[in-house]
């Protein structure tokens, strides 16, 4: 099987794991900031989709004066924020 044909299955598997992690987190009954509970599952999902993806929480964007929840880089080049 070529990597191209395997990607949909890998993404489907990662998406199911993402959903399960969120479901377990929100079902725990522990009071917490809901938005903050998304960071780790989103990072895991992004890394599962593409091996060379790196993520870092509370990324600094000095030009905007803010901190996006997650910075995303591919091959060590910052390419987006979540």
Domain spans of the chain, in order of start = 3-81
pLDDT in tens, 5-48: 566 788 889 999 999 999 999 998 899 998 888 999 999 898 88
For 52, phi then psi, to 5°, come to -90, 15
For residue 1, is pLDDT > 50?
no
**Can you tell me the mean pLDDT for 49-68?**
84
Predicted local confidence at residue 7, as pLDDT: 63
Per-residue pLDDT band for 60 (boundaries 50, 70, 90) equals confident
Contact 14, 20 (CB under 8 A): no
pLDDT in tens, 36-52: 889 999 998 988 877 78
């Amino acid at each position: 099987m070529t990597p191209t044909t395997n990607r949909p299955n890998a993404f489907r598997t990662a998406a199911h794991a993402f959903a399960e992690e969120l479901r377990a987190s929100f079902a725990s009954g522990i009071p917490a900031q809901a938005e903050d509970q998304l960071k780790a599952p989103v990072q895991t999902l992004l890394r599962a989709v593409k091996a060379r993806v790196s993520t870092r929480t509370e990324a600094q964007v000095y030009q905007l004066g803010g901190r996006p929840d997650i910075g995303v880089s591919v091959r060590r080049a910052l390419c987006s924020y979540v």
